[in-house]
Amino acid sequence: MDLAGVTWRWYPGDETQEADPFIATTMGAEPTPAYRGTAYVVFEELALDRYGNRLPQLSFEVFRPIADPDTAEGCVEAVTLIPASGEFTYATQPIRTGGDGETVAENLNALTDTADSVVALNSLQAMVAR
């Protein structure tokens, strides 16, 4: 996403963060929560014409520092447990749908004949075993 000309702010979710001024101006200062303990992003007046006049699908990864690198948490840099979304995201067996002699794989995006969730779990195990 090209952020040139876009006014946005990121809040890390700490316990001291204040309410966003744009939200407070829009909703009124009194009822506006500070969302302490929740990381979030605010876009001011985002032009939606570039996105078919609807909110674009955005995803964010939030990382926190690891206190002890000798723990299991410290050994793992990042994990994409479910690399896709959909009805069969958690299925551990390959799912194919379709008809008329043609099928479409629903949960086989990483490797042929291996469900996405199994690929993600195998990657996690390999990373921890190092």
Question: What are the beta bridge partners of residue 7?
Answer: 44
Q: At 24, is the pLDDT very low, low, confident or very high (cuts 50, 70, 90)? A: very high
Answering whether pTM is above 0.75, one says: no
34/102: higher pLDDT: 34
Cβ atoms of 116 and 107 within 8 Å: the answer is yes
Three-state helix/strand/coil letters over the chain = CCCCCCEEEEECCCCCCCCCHHHHHHHCCCCCCCCCCCCEEEEECCCCHHHCCCCCCCCCCCCCCCCCCCCHHHHCCCCCCCCCCCCCCCCCCCCEEEECCEEEECCCCCECCECHHHHHHHHHHHHHHC
Q: At 80, is the pLDDT very low, low, confident or very high (cuts 50, 70, 90)? A: low
| Interval 51-59 mean pLDDT | 88
pLDDT at 15 over 80: yes
Q: At 9, is the pLDDT very low, low, confident or very high (cuts 50, 70, 90)? A: very high
Q: Quote the CA–CA distance of 80 and 78 in Å, as a whole number.
A: 7
